[in-house]
Amino acid sequence: MFDVSKKRYRLRIIIPAYPVFNIYSRVAKGTTALGPVCIASVVNEMEGWDVEVIDENNLRRYGPRSDSIGADHKFLQRVRPADVVGFYGGLTSTIPRLYEIARFYKNKGMITIAGGQHFVEDNIAEALSSDIDYVVIGEGEETIKELLRAIEGKENISEVKGIAYRNNGKVICTPKREPPTDFDRFPLPDFSLVRYARIKLYPVERIRGCGMDCEFCTVKGKPRYATPKRLLECISSLLETRDARHFFIVDDLFGQQRDETIRFCNMLRDYQKNVGRKLDLSVQIRLDKAQDPELLSAMRQAGINMVAIGFESPIEEELEVMRKHIKPENMVSLARTFHNFGFLVHGMFIFGYPLKESVNFKISARERIKRFKNFIKKAKIDTIQVLLPVPLPGTELRHRLQKQKRIYPTRDVGWEYYDGNFPLFEPDEPMTAEKMQTCIRKIMGKFYQFKYLFILGLNIFSFPALIFFLYNIKKGWRRWYRTWRNNLLRYGGWVVTRGWTAEFKKGTFTRRLQTARSYLKEKKEETR
């Protein structure tokens, strides 16, 4: 039971660890999730509440580790007892770990809250049956304040908008809360609340929502904008208080509000000149923004060095089903435009996207691989990420595949496999699930190879060649650095994928896949 007699309470927000075999674990050690930090920053201003964030993927600063995975919560609860525990459910692959930790705290008598993109539709009832007391639906800055006051007994729980809970065994969903539009009334994200983390890459944001309406994406709705001044204030505060130099603007699509984006870039450019510090920024952006040279110039002058672009596929039929609104024949030239402006280009791809039943198109695995490899080479992409389609909860893709009875049941292929590295549904013919997984390893294996370790050595010895660029030393450095960086990452990518493959062989996914496929086959036969 919640002790209402206490003078101060503690909220602990936990970002669950990735599954052991997740290929993103290495990147996560140097950053954290922005959403939990935003929620914690709001609670930190509430009277009578202390708050902390525990990122189980980033415990590099004296973090107490468990013997298996993530943090040692017995230790945390012993030295700093929490009264309420919140869980970040923004990544579906971490949900089994989330429920595992929730069970621990619930058995200790704590009140548990969960929120994030995973908790939609049937997953709300699943959470409330998995040791979660309250589910926050949608963005939580306003909801968390009202919910905590209700937990204290200062408000009626039924009047808190945007939550779900159980009452006498029945799931209660309160009225929907409209997403916030005035971000200036919220405090700036306070990353000092993330205990034990060593953060090198700081996530920041200006725009929430996306108007592109891709079938596979969970980010929907009309974009809502904070002011350029707020984003600049966030970045400058992190530089001045934490000596932060590297930032990732997590907006789903950078540049959605073009004129204000350019204004932000100009403000950031001038700020760096005034303080005498250069910053390094990365953004996610649409490929067609290459047609806006004014925007690209402003981005480069602001210190935006890397762009992450969702190319998704070089196959036109797949792009149409995804609703990407771009033609493959235009993609190479647009990608090269980013390259020529000096951006490092990170290409994100989805291999084997399922077509609609009305689309009469078949392609062999060998031809698919060939098209992907040719496109990546022609587009001069610096780094790549090739994943399988993930039918995430709440997406149109999942609804479509469910109607077609193609999704493997989560009882066999659980949420922990929803990270893009595992087949989660019956693919289009003539592809098979095993073949899909093999194909992405072949594409990644061609791009990330051990040989780049030796090429990296040659790059180092070629450094004196910069003398030939004395007339433009900046251009020479940029050319040398790009080659050196890419070779380093291609070798590093080989190390990561090799480790992932080793972990995969130890796991039980192959057996689970066979069971899931048999179940789908039986269901189809029953409906005939």
Structural domain 9-173, CATH architecture: 3-Layer(aba) Sandwich (3.40)
* Domain ranges in the chain with CATH number 3.40.50.280: 9-173
Those residues whose C-beta lies under 8 Å from the C-beta of residue 13, and which sit 6 or more positions away, are 36, 39, 40, 51, 52, 53, 54, 85, 86, 87, 88
Those residues whose C-beta lies under 8 Å from the C-beta of residue 358, and which sit 6 or more positions away, are none
**Other Cβ atoms closer than 10 A to 203:** 19
Instruction: Please choose, from the candidates 237, 225, 291, the residue with its C-alpha nearest in 3D space to the C-alpha of residue 264.
Output: 225
Q: Are strands 9-15 and 84-88 parallel, antiparallel or unpaired?
A: parallel
Question: How far is it, in rounded angstroms, from Cα 94 to Cα 474?
Answer: 43
Question: How far is it, in rounded angstroms, from Cα 188 to Cα 204?
Answer: 10
Tell me, what DSSP letter sits at residue 439? H
The strand pairing partners of 307, in sequence order, are: 283, 345
200-447, CATH topology level = TIM Barrel (3.20.20)
The answer to whether the Cα torsion of 425, 430, 432, 438 is positive or negative is negative
Instruction: Please choose, from the candidates 243, 239, 294, the residue with its C-alpha nearest in 3D space to the C-alpha of residue 266.
Output: 294
Those residues whose C-beta lies under 8 Å from the C-beta of residue 319, and which sit 6 or more positions away, are 312, 313, 326, 327, 328
Question: How far is it, in rounded angstroms, from Cα 253 to Cα 92?
Answer: 21
The answer to whether 71 and 241 have CB atoms below 8 angstroms apart is no
Tell me, what DSSP letter sits at residue 246? E
* Domain ranges in the chain with CATH number 3.20.20.70: 200-447
Instruction: Please choose, from the candidates 368, 282, 384, 374, the residue with its C-alpha nearest in 3D space to the C-alpha of residue 332.
Output: 374
Q: Are strands 224-225 and 207-208 parallel, antiparallel or unpaired?
A: antiparallel
Per-residue pLDDT of the chain (528 residues; tens, 9 = 90+): 577 778 899 999 999 999 876 667 778 899 999 999 999 999 999 999 999 999 999 999 999 999 989 999 999 999 999 999 999 999 999 999 999 999 999 999 999 999 999 999 889 999 999 999 999 999 999 999 999 999 999 999 999 999 999 999 999 999 999 999 999 999 999 999 999 999 999 999 999 998 888 999 998 888 999 999 999 999 999 999 999 999 999 999 999 999 999 999 999 999 999 999 999 999 999 999 999 999 999 999 999 999 999 999 999 999 999 999 888 889 999 999 999 999 999 999 999 999 998 888 999 999 999 999 999 999 999 999 999 999 999 999 999 999 999 999 999 999 999 999 999 999 999 999 999 999 999 999 999 999 999 888 777 666 555 555 555 556 666 777 888 899 999 999 999 888 888 888 888 999 999 999 998 888 777 776
Q: Is 308 helix (H, G, I), strand (E, B) or coil?
A: strand
In this prediction, residue 126 carries a pLDDT of 96
The sheet with strand 383-387 has its strands ordered as 201-204, 246-249, 280-284, 304-312, 344-350, 383-387
Instruction: Please choose, from the candidates 232, 235, 240, the residue with its C-alpha nearest in 3D space to the C-alpha of residue 261.
Output: 232
Instruction: Please choose, from the candidates 307, 289, 235, 224, the residue with its C-alpha nearest in 3D space to the C-alpha of residue 267.
Output: 235
Question: How far is it, in rounded angstroms, from Cα 318 to Cα 113?
Answer: 38
